[in-house]
Amino acid sequence: MASSVPWRAVIGTAQSMSWAPLRVQRADTMSGMTNAQQIIAPVDCDAAPEESLSRIFEQIMGVYSVSDDEGPLSDAVERFLRSLGHMRVRRHGDTVIADDIAGRGQHVVLAGHLDTVPVAGNFPPRWLEPGDPLIRADMAAQHPGERVMWGRGATDMKASDAVLLYLAAALRDPKYDLTYIFYDHEEVSAEKNGLRRLLDAHRDWVDGDFAIIAEPTSCGIEGGCNGTIRFDVVAHGVAAHSARAWLGDNAIHKAAEILRRLQAYEPQDVPVDGLTYREGINATLISGGTGTNVIPDECRVHVNYRFAPDKTIAQAKALVMGEDCAAKLGNGDHEATGGMFAGFGIEMHDESPSARPGMESPLAQSLAALVKKRTGRDPQAKLGWTDVARFTQLGIPAVNLGAGSALLAHKRDEQVALGDLTLLAGILREWLTL
């Protein structure tokens, strides 16, 4: 897809400056023409942070990075981090990791993904000035008089990526050792996830006492995350000509029972370590049949179960397919021996663990206190799945904290106010230095 989009990130060389400016081939939103334009300046710690943040944000927003096409943005991020000169920078695939290690005692990891979901008429991006009709009413009310970035990836999660890149450049004497991770393929199946692949290949590259995943949280802390499993529930039948339907067994008709069981489910609120998570199980796709005059011998209902962090993946699977069901990733269709879908076939497609809140960590508590002071917000439960779960599995407490509203993630009118970036940068800079 990237080959059809006239945007490419490259690093240029400035003759008169010591820094390596990030450049991007940028499509003019009015004429469709392209031009090379420098859109990130060196971070001046004495200047207002809004200037550097807005330039970095504009740059990374302008690089097309739908999952599978993160390479150009990863290249740009890698070269920018290397140009700073005070960190060790390494790369695995399209995941870039940068360490600022000086034996400061405790070690904090800050991570954000570079990919976005597919565009939906919302690329190229653009800044919206106050009063622009594309600014959502709720955004205008919460951020009166502020510039707003509109476009794919603004909220999820290039606003937070811009803050992390700004901090990497601006923080030269933090009180903790720091590791920054910018990774690919977060928005697709777990097997492709760049952080997962990094940990599988180079577990020794990632260590720490605490981690922050900069998913959109409107600059509040969201602890832990729900787990997720995705699978097909399969109704089997017998094919026949529709003129002699009594000789067959209609699998689509049988699927009505699958849908009935899903319809009867009531979403559950589950308290875990002081935070309340909402569970849900839903059909998201359905397919069946081979022809308009053929009684179908198979119908598949694709189901997504989001389970609270009081459960392991094994416990979640037992609830929907039974403890003894043989269905595993990649091993085909097996009968559910119990649970919600007993008697139907199950074929697993994806699974990711839940994560408990992690708020017992002293680092989490000190960060939560600062967020409360700056925003008035107490920690909340993260209802979606995030890579905090991967850090939890490593024994590293982790929370979600990022710019932008999670409610706008993946929307056609995805947008975030510049003030959210400055607020997040201010919180993290104070917590990492004072």
pLDDT digits (tens, 9 = 90+) for 364-413: 999 999 999 999 999 999 998 999 999 999 999 999 999 999 999 999 99
pTM of the shown model: 0.85
Residue ranges per domain, the chain?
A: 2-224+355-433, 227-352
Residue 2 tokens, joined: 């990237």
Does CATH place domain 2-224+355-433 in 3.40.630.10? yes
Whole-number Å distance between alpha carbons of 383 and 108: 24
Give the model confidence (pLDDT) of 285-326 as tens digits: 999 999 999 999 999 999 999 999 999 999 999 999 999 999
Question: CA-based Rg of the chain, rounded to a whole angstrom?
Answer: 24
The topology under which CATH files domain 227-352 is: Alpha-Beta Plaits (3.30.70)
The stretch 35-52 carries a mean pLDDT of 63
Identify whether 430 is a catalytic site residue. no
Residue 24 has pLDDT above 80, yes or no: no
Give the integer Cα–Cα distance in Å for 136 and 405.
12
Binning the chain into helix, strand and coil, the percentages to the nearest 5 are 30, 25, 40
- Degrees to nearest 5, angle at CA 407 with 231 and 66: 65
Active-site pick, 186, 232, 387, 414 = 186
186 classed as catalytic: yes
415, pLDDT greater than 50: yes
Condensed to tens digits (0 to 9), the pLDDT of residues 174-232 reads 999 999 999 999 999 889 999 999 999 999 999 999 999 999 999 999 999 999 999 99
pLDDT tens-digit map of 66-106: 999 999 999 999 989 998 999 999 999 999 999 999 999 99
- The closest of 85, 107, 89, 96 to 172, measured between CA atoms, is 85
- Selected catalytic residue, list 70, 75, 115, 297: 115
Number of neighbouring beta carbons within 10 Å of residue 259? 13
Distance, in Å, from the CA atom of 44 to the CA atom of 170, rounded to the nearest integer, reads 8
Say if 2-224+355-433 and 227-352 have the same CATH topology: no
Residue from 355, 419, 405, 417 nearest 381 by CA: 355
